[in-house]
Amino acid sequence: EPEVTQTPSHQVTQMGQEVILRCVPISNHLYFYWYRQILGQKVEFLVSFYNNEISEKSEIFDDQFSVERPDGSNFTLKIRSTKLEDSAMYFCASSTVNSNQPQHFGDGTRLSIL
């Protein structure tokens, strides 16, 4: 069964540094998403991406964050000048069409900011 893959599985970064989280969505999917889950809290939407542009973003997704699809397969989340509170699990997801269809999640990147 095709799956969403994310790298790295764990990223440890000093506060103030930039970090890039990588995702390879399922190949025939058209919509891509990033979510985060702070330990012990709920999964929170960050951003959705379609046709090479952001289609929706939450208030969490401020100027510190950016997304990119640099080639035909990768989908990246960049966090500039990381803060302690950015420590969380970051999940990438993809779906065939839009939010009427289930989203398939990668196994996440655990980001630890020191």
Partner 1 sequence: RKEVEQDPGPFNVPEGATVAFNCTYSNSASQSFFWYRQDCRKEPKLLMSVYSSGNEDGRFTAQLNRASQYISLLIRDSKLSDSATYLCVASNTGNQFYFGTGTSLTVIP
Q: Is 14 exposed, middle or buried (0-12, 13-18, 19+ CB in 10 A)?
A: exposed
Residues in 53-92 that interact with partner 1 by CB under 8 A: 55-56, 58, 89, 91
**Do 109 and 5 contact (CB within 8 A), yes or no?**
no
Distance CA 64, CA 29 (A): 27
Q: Which stretch binds partner 1 (CB under 8 A): 10-18, 19-27, 34-42, 73-81?
A: 34-42
Closest separation between CB of residue 68 and partner 1, Å?
17
Is the bond leading into 25 cis (omega within 30 degrees of zero)?
A: no
CA distance 55 to 97: 13
Does residue 17 belong to the site contacting partner 1 (CB under 8 A)?
no
25 binds partner 1 (CB under 8 A): no
Task: For the CB of residue 63, give the shortest distance to partner 1 in the complex, in Å.
Answer: 20
Shortest Å, Cβ 23 to partner 1? 12
User: 11 near 109, Cβ under 8 Å?
Assistant: yes
The minimum distance between CB 8 and partner 1, in angstroms, equals: 15
36 contributes a contact to partner 1 by CB under 8 A? no
